[in-house]
Chain A
Amino acid sequence: MGVAVTRTIDYLTALLEWVMTLSFVALFLVNLLNIVLRNIAGIAWLWIPGFSRLVFIWLVFLGIAAAYRRAAHLDIDFFLLRMKPRVRLLTLMGINLVLIPFFVILLVYGLDVAQVRMRVPFDTWQVPTGYAYLAVPVCAVLLLLYCGERLVKLVKEARSP
């Protein structure tokens, strides 16, 4: 994989993590504001729970993609670490090849579900819940990109003497 492509993916991931960080800050501030308004000013903003759910769902799905790039997801590498290097490389390739159809399912059917959910608003906020469900196909696109990048790296590694 070319240096330019890797660098572009690096920038994209950095941007993704910034969006996550800002979403997390927004989630925290909104919840704090909710406590202050309710307990001190006696005001309850009804949109806050829906907004919280929307931001949280996006935060999680963007985080799933970012953690995949960083190989930070919880796994059990007990057997993987005990394999011979060549076998380990082939196993990792196999794992990523199996993941591609799974991520495609998330993309295609995630879009489908998001479309359906565009008709259903949040309980106390007149915004379609479909916007929350859109996080699944967006996450799937990122996962496919990262999976492709990982596979290319593994193939290169396998070819090198």
Chain B
Amino acid sequence: MILVLFGLLFALIAVGFSIWTAMGVSGAIYIVMQGEVSFRLVASRMVSGIDSETLVAIPFFILAGDIMNAAGITRRLADFADLFVGRFRAGLAYVSIIVSVIMAGVSGSAVADATSVSSVLHPIMRKRGYHDRFAAAINASSAVIGPIFPPSIPMIFIGVISGLSIGRLFLGGILPGLLMAGILWFVATLVSNRRGYAKAPVGFSWRRFGRLAKETLLALLAPSFVISGVVFGFVTITEVAAIAVAYVMFLGLFVYRTLTWSQLAEVFRRSALLSATLMAIFAVVGLFQYIVATEQMGAQLESMVEALNLGKNGFLVFTTIFFLLLGAILDAIPVMLIFFPVLLPIAMELGIDPTHFGVITVLNLMIGLLTPPIGVLLFIQTKIGDVGFGELLGEIWPYILALLGVLLLCTFVPAVVLWIPNLVF
């Protein structure tokens, strides 16, 4: 029965149903086929699925990122980074990586980061002579850092659904996020040098530094609020997110004065809408989890792992391939929400640290945002950068391989993920 359910889900998504309705309809059909459960379950699970104070953090983080963009803070950060690294051959690629890491420290969503950073940087990159496909590839790949470096919306989802410490998950993403930035930096350097992109005449001057530092220093503090809130734990994740919103809103309205009240209302509306599309999936996942539990999918998987005698490393290889394949053909969030709680107990039984397993699951599925046929970040870049899908695929593969290298390192060297959380908690 469970195979029929998942087969139906994949078929509905492939035909063109939105993900939440595909999950809802296939769940409802399962209830009809099973004949023992009431349709009440659909309505009650949808509400209980999102009835969590922690989940309120998600719209706040999305809002904070959107305000940064609307207030021109992303642009200021890009200018500041450009002052230091713009003169190198891959200068604007470095700017993209730096700004993505800083934006990641506030918003936590790859899609939001890709849209905001690319819309600012892509036209400038084109003007400085970079190929569109190069700009699109680096902007898409660096956006993957968004949900790895804290705060991270997928990690909040995982924490809420499995009861893991969101603080530990957040801190576990710091080193992998920085490693991803480092490896992307390296690949962008290689590609730029091979193509001989011209060096931009961006000189460093103390006067310009003083002006830009004054403009961006306050914006640079925003991610530190988030991280210190998580580390010191004086406020909840939701409150950290609300503080981040209040801070960037204050900067936009009163310090930089680049944000108007009507713009702010529009940003609130847009962020509410985007949040609802994410939470819709979280709502119907509650129904799916019930079905997965009723069908004892966890026990079946566990006996399969035992029968295959995979062991710890074998299991990690199995889950890596499993998530990479599913992440390529399905949206990351439902895959994570359905399968992570099922696989976590098996991982723990094999002696894998739950924080480690959580972080590598997110990292794995976020790389899926770059892989065909469904890579959401690829579609965003084709629209913003006016690049063909195939052309972008031909350009982005070295970055995907580099990120897979980081994934393998994080998977088989748990200390890369666990060092900081173990140091703090």
**Are B268 and A95 in contact, CB atoms less than 8 angstroms apart?**
no
**Are A56 and B55 in contact, CB atoms less than 8 angstroms apart?**
yes
- Closest-by-CB residue of A relative to B17 is A95
- Closest-by-CB residue of A relative to B18 is A73
Residues 41-56 of A, flagged 1 when their CB comes within 8 A of B and 0 if not, give 0000000010011001
Set of chain B residues within 8 Å of A17, measured between Cβ atoms: 269, 272-273
Which of A31, A63, A79, A108 is within 8 Å of B242, CB to CB? A31
Which of B18, B243, B279 is within 8 Å of A75, CB to CB? B18
**Are A133 and B44 in contact, CB atoms less than 8 angstroms apart?**
yes
How far does the alpha carbon of A71 sit from the alpha carbon of B128 in the complex, in Å?
36
* Chain-A contact segment, one of B45-53, B341-349, B355-363: B45-53
Which of B60, B234, B279 is within 8 Å of A60, CB to CB? B279
Count chain A CB atoms within 10 A of each CB in B14, B56, B278, B279 and give the residue with the most.
B56
**Are B56 and A31 in contact, CB atoms less than 8 angstroms apart?**
yes
B44 to chain A, nearest CB (A): 5
How far does the alpha carbon of A146 sit from the alpha carbon of B46 in the complex, in Å?
20
**Are A24 and B39 in contact, CB atoms less than 8 angstroms apart?**
no
Set of chain A residues within 8 Å of B52, measured between Cβ atoms: 53
B171 interfacial contact with A, CB 8 Å: no
**Are A32 and B242 in contact, CB atoms less than 8 angstroms apart?**
yes
Set of chain B residues within 8 Å of A23, measured between Cβ atoms: 272
Tell me the chain A residues, 65-94 only, with Cβ under 8 Å from chain B: 66-68, 70, 72-80, 91-92, 94
How far does the alpha carbon of A77 sit from the alpha carbon of B383 in the complex, in Å?
15
Which of B63, B272, B331 is within 8 Å of A74, CB to CB? B331
Set of chain B residues within 8 Å of A79, measured between Cβ atoms: 14-16
Residues 36-70 of B, flagged 1 when their CB comes within 8 A of A and 0 if not, give 00111011101100111101100110010000000
Set of chain B residues within 8 Å of A92, measured between Cβ atoms: 16
**Are B19 and A21 in contact, CB atoms less than 8 angstroms apart?**
no
How far does the alpha carbon of A98 sit from the alpha carbon of B39 in the complex, in Å?
16
**Are B280 and A60 in contact, CB atoms less than 8 angstroms apart?**
yes
Set of chain A residues within 8 Å of B14, measured between Cβ atoms: 76, 78-79
Set of chain A residues within 8 Å of B279, measured between Cβ atoms: 60, 63-64
- Interface residue tally on B, bucketed by range: 35 or more
B191 interfacial contact with A, CB 8 Å: no
**Are A20 and B40 in contact, CB atoms less than 8 angstroms apart?**
no
Which of B55, B60, B243, B276 is within 8 Å of A64, CB to CB? B276
A142 interfacial contact with B, CB 8 Å: no
B92 to chain A, nearest CB (A): 30
B24 interfacial contact with A, CB 8 Å: yes
How far does the alpha carbon of A101 sit from the alpha carbon of B245 in the complex, in Å?
40
A152 interfacial contact with B, CB 8 Å: no
Set of chain B residues within 8 Å of A53, measured between Cβ atoms: 51-53
Which of B15, B19, B273 is within 8 Å of A80, CB to CB? B15
A112 interfacial contact with B, CB 8 Å: yes
B182 to chain A, nearest CB (A): 31
How far does the alpha carbon of A113 sit from the alpha carbon of B47 in the complex, in Å?
10
A130 to chain B, nearest CB (A): 10
B20 interfacial contact with A, CB 8 Å: yes
**Are B39 and A105 in contact, CB atoms less than 8 angstroms apart?**
yes
**Are A132 and B51 in contact, CB atoms less than 8 angstroms apart?**
yes
A110 interfacial contact with B, CB 8 Å: yes
B167 to chain A, nearest CB (A): 17
A109 interfacial contact with B, CB 8 Å: yes
Residues of chain A having any CB pair with chain B under 8 Å: 17-18, 20-21, 23-25, 27-28, 31-32, 34-35, 39, 49, 52-53, 56-57, 59-64, 66-68, 70, 72-80, 91-92, 94-95, 98-99, 101-102, 105-106, 108-110, 112-113, 132-133, 135-136
4 smallest CB-CB distances across A and B, nearest first, come from A63-B276, A73-B18, A80-B16, A110-B43
